[in-house]
Amino acid sequence: MKRNYYIVSLILLIFFVISFLTNVIGPLIPDMINGFHLSLTLVALLPFAFFIAYGVMSIPSGMLIERYKEKKIMIAGFVVAFAGSLLLAVFPNYLTAVLSLFLIGCGMAMLQVVINPLLRTSGGEEHYAFNSVLAQLIFGLASFISPLVYSALVQKLKGGSTGHGFASLLSNLVPADLPWISLYWVFTVICLAMILIILFSRFPKVELSKEEVVGAWQTHVLLFKNPVVVLFFIAMFCYVGTEQGVANWISQFLSTYHGYDPQTTGAQAVAYFWGLMTAGGVVGLLLLKIMDSRKVLILFTVLALVCLSFALFGPAHISLISFTLVGFFASVMYPIIFSLALNSVSEHHGSFSGILVTGIIGGAVIPLIIGWLGDHLGLRSGMVFLYITLGYILSIGFWAKPIITNKTVQLFNKKEPGVKG
Spatial separation of the C-alpha atoms in residues 180 and 153, rounded to whole Å: 8
DSSP 3-state assignment of 419? coil
Summarize pLDDT for 242-288 with one digit per residue, the tens. Answer: 999 999 999 999 999 999 998 889 989 999 998 898 888 788 878 88
Tell me if 105 is assigned to some domain. yes
* Least confidently predicted of 130-144, 264-278, 298-312: 130-144
CB count in 10 Å sphere of residue 155 = 14
Please compute the mean of the pLDDT values over residues 50-62 and round it to a whole number.
83
Residue 416: pLDDT band with limits 50, 70, 90:
very low
Name the more confident of 143 and 215: 143
Amino acid, single-letter form, for residue 171:
S
Tell me if 280 is assigned to some domain. yes
Nearest to 379 by CA among 263, 254, 220: 254
For residue 408, pLDDT beyond 60: no
Tell me if 12 is assigned to some domain. yes
For residue 399, pLDDT beyond 60: yes
Name the more confident of 204 and 238: 238
Residue 115, class by beta-carbon neighbours within 10 Å (0-12 exposed, 13-18 middle, 19+ buried)? buried
DSSP for residue 405: P
Output the pTM of the full model: 0.79
Tell me if 254 is assigned to some domain. yes
Nearest to 29 by CA among 20, 17, 42: 42
* Least confidently predicted of 206-220, 317-331, 333-347: 206-220
Residue 177, class by beta-carbon neighbours within 10 Å (0-12 exposed, 13-18 middle, 19+ buried)? exposed
Tell me if 413 is assigned to some domain. no
CB 242 within 8 A of CB 383: no
Spatial separation of the C-alpha atoms in residues 204 and 12, rounded to whole Å: 16
Tell me if 412 is assigned to some domain. no
Task: State the total domains in the chain.
Answer: 1
For residue 421, pLDDT beyond 50: no
Nearest to 330 by CA among 345, 314, 311: 311
For residue 219, pLDDT beyond 90: no
Task: Work out the end-to-end distance of the chain between its first and last CA atoms, rounded to an integer number of angstroms.
Answer: 42
Q: What is the largest CA-CA distance in the chain?
A: 80
Spatial separation of the C-alpha atoms in residues 343 and 376, rounded to whole Å: 42
Spatial separation of the C-alpha atoms in residues 235 and 356, rounded to whole Å: 9
Amino acid, single-letter form, for residue 415:
K
Predicted pLDDT at 407: 58
Name the more confident of 418 and 349: 349
Taking CA 197 as the corner, what is the angle to CA 195 and CA 199, rounded to the nearest 5 degrees?
Answer: 65
Predicted pLDDT at 329: 93
CB count in 10 Å sphere of residue 201 = 12
Q: Return the CATH number at 341.
A: 1.20.1250.20
For residue 130, pLDDT beyond 80: no
Summarize pLDDT for 141-193 with one digit per residue, the tens. Answer: 888 898 888 888 888 887 665 566 666 777 778 888 888 898 899 999 999 99
Q: What is the span of the domain harbouring residue 66? A: 5-200+210-399
Predicted pLDDT at 157: 80
Predicted pLDDT at 209: 57
Summarize pLDDT for 73-126 with one digit per residue, the tens. Answer: 999 999 999 999 999 999 999 999 999 999 999 999 889 878 877 777 777 666
Tell me if 405 is assigned to some domain. no
Residues 6+ apart with CB under 8 A from 163: none
Name the more confident of 135 and 17: 17
Residue 341: pLDDT band with limits 50, 70, 90:
confident
Predicted pLDDT at 349: 66
For residue 309, pLDDT beyond 50: yes
Predicted pLDDT at 164: 61
Predicted pLDDT at 204: 61
DSSP for residue 100: H
Tell me if 313 is assigned to some domain. yes
For residue 414, pLDDT beyond 60: no
Spatial separation of the C-alpha atoms in residues 340 and 381, rounded to whole Å: 32
